[in-house]
Structure 1
Amino acid sequence: MDKNLPDASATNRKLVVLGLGLLCILQAALNISLRLALYSSGARTPDYEAVTKNLTEEAKMLRRKLEIFDHYTRKQWVYFQPSFYYISSEKKSWRDSRDDCLQKGADLVIINSKEEQDFFRVFEKFMWIGLTDNETEGMWKWVDGTLLTKSFWRRGQPNSFLFQNEDCAAMTDLWIDLPCGNQNFWTCEKTVSLYGRSALTSVCKTHSEVNMDKNLPDASATNRKLVVLGLGLLCILQAALNISLRLALYSSDEKEGDQLKRNTFDHYTQEGWVYFRSSFYFISSEKKSWPASRGDCLQKGADLVIINSKEENEFTRQFRQLLWIGLNDNETEGTWKWVDGTLLNTSYWHPGEPNSINSDEDCGMTMFNEDKYNWNDGQCNTLHFWICEKMLA
């Protein structure tokens, strides 16, 4: 005890000691519990304000990521890491196509890798890409001004056929040059940052000094104040422990959950899956029977696609492929069920379908992709491409 403390009764001295002791306990409890909260991040000397910020940062980042996905997929964009793509349903000139992309806050696609090139093959459309030699003949540049270094030209291309000004590039499986005024589909690309900073970037002291006023008032006049101080500090201590320990649990659980979800996105997109709404989709590059197609999906931890909405059906039409879907009437002729056992309620059969025209056409597929009602029934042993679906939990 400070020798300069004013004379007081034994009770007064005990109350002063109680107040100082509770302050020390409060400081120690906060230090310990907040160290626990940041133990998993490796931080040794946390800033209390930074701690609170960090505990919610990962959750906010994931929420932002999901909001971005939802925003673009609702507008018929598809995701293939690390970009969103919009594939047009009408045809325009190269210039008008680019204007449409710019109005969407994007630009014509820039193809940087073989994986990205292969991704577009499934759409089976002539599509403008963001490549032109308008400025200097033979010097091909992307729309961002960078020179072409890695290319996927079809053999003999570019060739300015019949000496035409074929200054704009389009693709199906490979690239060709065409007159820029030709009318073609197009694809826009927009790269969106899905990740933010997730680690603390500042640290500061964990020990603070408690500066008691040396000129304490007369103890006899502070009895009630000291009692209130003691009770108040006890309440603060309890609240601080509750909050900080909750934050410690929140930090551990939320970080694990958020990291798992982020790893899921990365895993599937790197494996060639396409994200739309709340599911990942895998479009095959080979042909199999309906049962074998479903077997492939099951091996991937998925199943043949179940189409639940007009938007999802429009999404499948973009691939312009004949694709097996998870629909069949194997059990009872004319009673169509999805692979999860639910009855078909909303359908997109092409007029006159299903018709079992070749008998035993018991499996469903997308076929008439120029029509919004594009389903057909086919013989289950016929070889076709297929589409798997895995919902994101």
Structure 2
Amino acid sequence: MKALLVLCFVCFKALLVFCFICFSRTPESSTIVFCLFTVNRSSTKDFPVCPSLELCPSDWLYFQRKCYYLSESEASWNSSQSFCSLHNASLLVIENQQELITKQDPWIGLYKRNEDFFWVNGKPLDNELIEVKGSGNCAYLESKGVSVSGCYLTRKWVCSLNISLA
């Protein structure tokens, strides 16, 4: 019986194009096979089928030790965070510039408290990493960076779930 280890990685690129890279390694040959798919996120049926390691919940995507959920529907910032919390996740906390860029303008886990911005994990915003534009208390991604608006507005959202490979 051959053991097959399959990992699916998702790299997110600007303009709502997602690049799926699947690779597998067989212990016998140590061969790595790459397959590259580019799809439009407008419909989940367009996603290629990658074998799963079941690291992430159904309908979530794995990338760099995190699972991501990209909503199809729109909701307020608070409702979006509640959805993520129900899945033991949170709205996306951006830790580096490569984390995620999308054209959908989704809610992320950044909010304004008094005059300062904080991530939903309690950490203050690093102003050297991200510049926030606009007025409002709840943040969302846009093609030019991070902006804020009223939390009551409805948008799509991105949940992030840290996973352990141990």
TM-score normalised according to structure 2 size: 0.71
Do residues 85 (structure 1) and 20 (structure 2) align?
A: yes
Match of 2:25 in 1: none
Match of 2:28 in 1: none
Match of 1:354 in 2: 133
Do residues 392 (structure 1) and 163 (structure 2) align?
A: yes
Q: 8 Å contact 2:20–2:37 — kept in the other structure?
A: no
Structure 1 residue 173 displacement after superposition:
8.6
How many angstroms apart in 2 are the aligned matches of 1:391 and 1:342?
A: 16
Q: 8 Å contact 2:77–2:138 — kept in the other structure?
A: yes
Unpaired segments of 5 or more residues in structure 2?
Answer: 14-18, 22-32
How many angstroms apart in 2 are the aligned matches of 1:384 and 1:377?
A: 12
Q: 8 Å contact 2:20–2:36 — kept in the other structure?
A: no
How many angstroms apart in 1 are the aligned matches of 2:104 and 2:97?
A: 18
Match of 2:141 in 1: 366
How many angstroms apart in 1 are the aligned matches of 2:69 and 2:124?
A: 23
How many angstroms apart in 2 are the aligned matches of 1:190 and 1:291?
A: 32
Match of 1:294 in 2: 81
Residues 343/108 of structure 1: CA separation in 2 closer, same or farther (3 Å cut): closer
> Secondary structure at the residue paired with 2:93?
coil
Which structure shows the higher strand fraction? 2
Residues 85/380 of structure 1: CA separation in 2 closer, same or farther (3 Å cut): same
Match of 1:328 in 2: 111
> Secondary structure at the residue paired with 1:311?
coil
Structure 1 residue 383 displacement after superposition:
0.6
How many angstroms apart in 2 are the aligned matches of 1:77 and 1:355?
A: 24
Higher relative contact order (CA 8 A, sep 6+): 2
Instruction: Report the residue type matching 1:362 in the other structure.
Output: N
Indicate which of 72, 77, 85 corresponds to 1:285: 72
Unpaired segments of 5 or more residues in structure 1?
Answer: 1-57, 79-83, 87-103, 110-119, 125-171, 176-186, 195-261
TM-score normalised according to structure 1 size: 0.32
Match of 2:16 in 1: none
Paired-residue identity, %: 19
Which structure shows the higher helix fraction? 1
How many angstroms apart in 1 are the aligned matches of 2:140 and 2:74?
A: 13
Instruction: Report the residue type matching 2:35 in the other structure.
Output: A
Report Cα offsets for 1:204-237 as digits up to 9, x if no partner: xxxxxxxxxxxxxxxxxxxxxxxxxxxxxxxxxx
Structure 1 residue 301 displacement after superposition:
1.5
Q: 8 Å contact 1:322–1:366 — kept in the other structure?
A: yes
How many equivalent pairs are there? 146
Which of the two has higher C-alpha Rg?
1
Structure 1 residue 336 displacement after superposition:
0.6
Match of 1:344 in 2: 125
Structure 1 residue 299 displacement after superposition:
1.1
Residues 341/173 of structure 1: CA separation in 2 closer, same or farther (3 Å cut): closer
> Secondary structure at the residue paired with 1:336?
strand
Residues 380/174 of structure 1: CA separation in 2 closer, same or farther (3 Å cut): same
**Which structure 1 residue ranges, 4+ long, deviate > 2 Å from structure 2?**
104-109, 172-175, 346-349
How many angstroms apart in 1 are the aligned matches of 2:122 and 2:61?
A: 25
Instruction: Report the residue type matching 1:348 in the other structure.
Output: I
